[in-house]
Amino acid sequence: MNLKNITYIVAAAFLLPVLGCKKELTTKPTTSVAESLIYDSADNIETVLNGTWSYMQDSFFTYSNPGYTTILRTSDAMGNDVAVITNKYGYRDAYEFTLANNQTRLGAIWTILYKVINNCNNIIAKIDASSGTDAKKAQIKGQALALRANSYLNLVTYYQFNYQVNPQAKVVPIYTEPTTPLTKGNPKSTVEAVYQLILADLTQAEKLLPAYSRPATTKYKINIDVVHGLLARTYLNMGKWDLAASNALEAKKKYSYMSADDYATGFNDLKNSEWIWGHGQRPDQSNASYTFNFLDVSSPSSYYYSFMADPNFKNLFDTKDIRSKLFLWDGLPSREGYLRYQKFKFREDQTGDIVMMRSAEMTLIAAEGYARNSDLTNAVALLNELRGARQAELYTLGTSSKDDVIAAILIERRKELWGEGFALSDILRTQSAVQRLPALGADGQPLKVTIIKPDGTSKIVTAKQHTSLKFPDGTAFIPNSSYYLFGLPQTELNNNKNINN
C-alpha cells in the first residue's frame, strides 16, 4: 500500500478528473505512463486499486481532513454523544452544524468519494480485457465494484434524507464510466437510482468474490465478508429488514468478539478478531493515523484530544459493563471536568489502524432487522450476545414492546460504535433528532464531579458538557433537518452546470 512505490502505475488513474474539481486534477506529472500500459495486466490494475485505497485513506487536505476518516469524524461530531472541545483545532463547524461554511471539508469529502468512484470506473471498464487469470480478474473487479458501492453509499447517506423519506428525492450525480476533462457533468440522480446502483455493484461483487481469500494482515482488501457487511448496511438504510439481518449474520461469521482486555487496548490494531475491514498503518505510512489526534483523549502525544464524551452518555452504561471502565474525568490543567472516553489510543509508534467494519456492528444490524420485523426473541438474543461479550447486564424481554426493543438496540449502537462514524448516519437513517441535553446533578443544577489532579489530590468541579444544544439559528433539534445534510462544494456548483437539472 505504499503510494510512493506505485506512483508510476497509478499516476494516470489519479489524473482522471473528478467532475467539479478539474483545475486541481488536470496537471500531468512527468512520471505519467501510457494508459494502455497501466491497464494491460491484472497485476498492474491491482496496483491501481491498491493506490486508490491508499489515496482514499491517506490523502491530506488539511490536518482536520485526513482522508476518508474526515467523513467518520464529521458524522461523530454531528451526533449525540461526542462533546467536541470547540477551542481546539478541527470539527467545530460540524459539531455546531455550520459545516456549510467549511468549503475545504466539503471539497475534501466530495473529492475523495468521486475520485475513488472514477478510479473504480476505470478498473471495472478495463479489467476484463487485461491479461491475467480469471480468478485474479474476478477478485479485482469484485473489489472495485464494492469500493465504488461504498463511495455511493456514503454519498446517498449524507447528501439527502433517508430512502424511506422519499426515494425520488434528488441527491448526487451518478457516474459509471471513466470521465475525462471533457466529460460533461451529470445532473443529480434520485436516491432510489443510487441505491439501485449500490445493490447492483454489491450483488455482482458477491458473485465474484466467494473464492477470494485474503491474508489476515491485509484486511483493507475487500472480501466476501466485507461485501455482505456493505449489503447489510445498505439494506438497513432502505428498511429491508430481513435482508439486512441475513447479510449481517453472514458478514460476522468468522469474526469473534474481542476480549475484555482487548477492548481496552485502544482500537488501533486490525489484527483484532472483531475487525472485518480496516486500514493498516505503520510509521512510514501513517497519514490516516492523524485522526487519532482527535479521538485519543488520554495519550500525552495526542495533539487535540477534542472528542470528549457527553456526561449523559456515561449514564447509558451499567457498572459491570467493560466499556464503562473507559470513562475518566479529566484532571489535567486546562482540561478539568472533561469526560474522557478512552476507547481510542495511539500505539507507542504514534500510529493507529483505522476500523471500518466490525462483527459487533453486524450483530446490532441483525438484531435491529429482527426487531423491526417483530421477531423480538431473536432480536433480544443477538442484543444479549453482544451485551454478554461486554459483561453488561442482559436485556430482559418480558413484556417489552417492539418499540422498546428497537430503542434498546439503538442505544446499544451508540454505546458500542461511539467514535466509529455512525452517529449522524444513524440519526438520518432513523429520522431522529439530535439529542444533546444539559448534564445535571440530582439537585437539578449543573453536574459536579470529582477529579484527580496530577499531584494526586482531588477536587470538585463542574462537569464540562455540550456547548451546542440548538441549531445555529437558535431552533431546537428536529428530525430530518437540512442542517444534518452535507452540502455540495462550491467547486462542483461552479463547474457542473447540469448539477441541478
**What does the pLDDT look like over 307-362, one tens digit per residue?**
999 999 999 999 999 999 999 999 999 999 999 999 999 999 999 999 999 999 99
**34 or 387, which is more confident?**
387
Question: Is the confidence at residue 107, as pLDDT, over 50?
Answer: yes
For the chain, the average pLDDT equals 93
Axis crossing angle, helix 224-238 with helix 241-252, rounded to the nearest 10: 160
3-class secondary structure, 82: strand
- Residues near 173 by Cβ (< 8 Å), separated by ≥ 6? 19, 185, 186, 187, 188, 189, 496, 498, 499
pTM value is 0.93
The residue assigned the cell 466467494 is 210
Rg value, the chain, Cα: 22
Axis crossing angle, helix 42-58 with helix 103-126, rounded to the nearest 10: 170
3-class secondary structure, 74: helix
The domains of the chain are located at 1-212+477-501
- 378-408: string of b/e by CB count within 10 Å (b at 16+)? ebbebbbebbebbebeebebeebeeeebbeb
Amino acid 351: pLDDT: 97
Amino acid 23: pLDDT: 31
Environment class of residue 476 by beta-carbon count within 10 Å: exposed (0-12), middle (13-18) or buried (19+)? exposed
Q: pLDDT class for 253, splitting at 50, 70, 90?
A: very high
Q: pLDDT class for 104, splitting at 50, 70, 90?
A: very high
Question: Is the confidence at residue 2, as pLDDT, over 60?
Answer: no
Q: pLDDT class for 33, splitting at 50, 70, 90?
A: low
Percent of the chain scoring above 90 in pLDDT: 90
| 298, 342 contact by CB (below 8 A) | yes
Question: Is the confidence at residue 11, as pLDDT, over 70?
Answer: no
Amino acid 182: pLDDT: 87
Question: Is the confidence at residue 14, as pLDDT, over 70?
Answer: no
Q: Is the domain defined by 1-212+477-501 classed in CATH 3.40.309.10?
A: no
Axis crossing angle, helix 359-372 with helix 241-252, rounded to the nearest 10: 150
- Residues near 36 by Cβ (< 8 Å), separated by ≥ 6? none
Question: Is the confidence at residue 25, as pLDDT, over 60?
Answer: no
Question: Is the confidence at residue 395, as pLDDT, over 50?
Answer: yes
Amino acid 13: pLDDT: 43
Amino acid 214: pLDDT: 95
| 371, 409 contact by CB (below 8 A) | yes
CA atoms within 13 A on the CB side of 145: 27
Please compute the mean of the pLDDT values over residues 256-281 and round it to a whole number.
Answer: 97
Q: How far apart are CA 398 and CA 400, in angstroms?
A: 6
Question: Is the confidence at residue 30, as pLDDT, over 70?
Answer: no
Q: How far apart are CA 122 and CA 178, in angstroms?
A: 5
Please compute the mean of the pLDDT values over residues 446-456 and round it to a whole number.
Answer: 98
Please compute the mean of the pLDDT values over residues 448-471 and round it to a whole number.
Answer: 98
Please compute the mean of the pLDDT values over residues 235-246 and round it to a whole number.
Answer: 99
- Which cell goes with 122? 476505470
Sign of the dihedral through C-alpha 379, 382, 387, 388? positive
Question: Is the confidence at residue 160, as pLDDT, over 70?
Answer: yes
Amino acid 180: pLDDT: 85
Q: How far apart are CA 132 and CA 154, in angstroms?
A: 32
Please state which of the ranges 10-14, 52-56, 196-200, 288-292 shows the lowest mean pLDDT.
10-14
Q: How many residues does the chain have?
A: 501
Q: How far apart are CA 371 and CA 241, in angstroms?
A: 9
| 326, 391 contact by CB (below 8 A) | no
CB atoms near residue 115 (< 10 Å): 22
Q: pLDDT class for 48, splitting at 50, 70, 90?
A: very high
CB atoms near residue 298 (< 10 Å): 17
Per residue in 418-430, pLDDT (tens digit) is 999 999 999 999 9
Distance of CA 260 to the CA centre of its chain: 24
Of the candidates 434, 441, 443, the one whose C-alpha atom is nearest the C-alpha of residue 463 is 441
Sign of the dihedral through C-alpha 388, 392, 393, 396? negative
- Which cell goes with 6? 506505485
Amino acid 397: pLDDT: 98
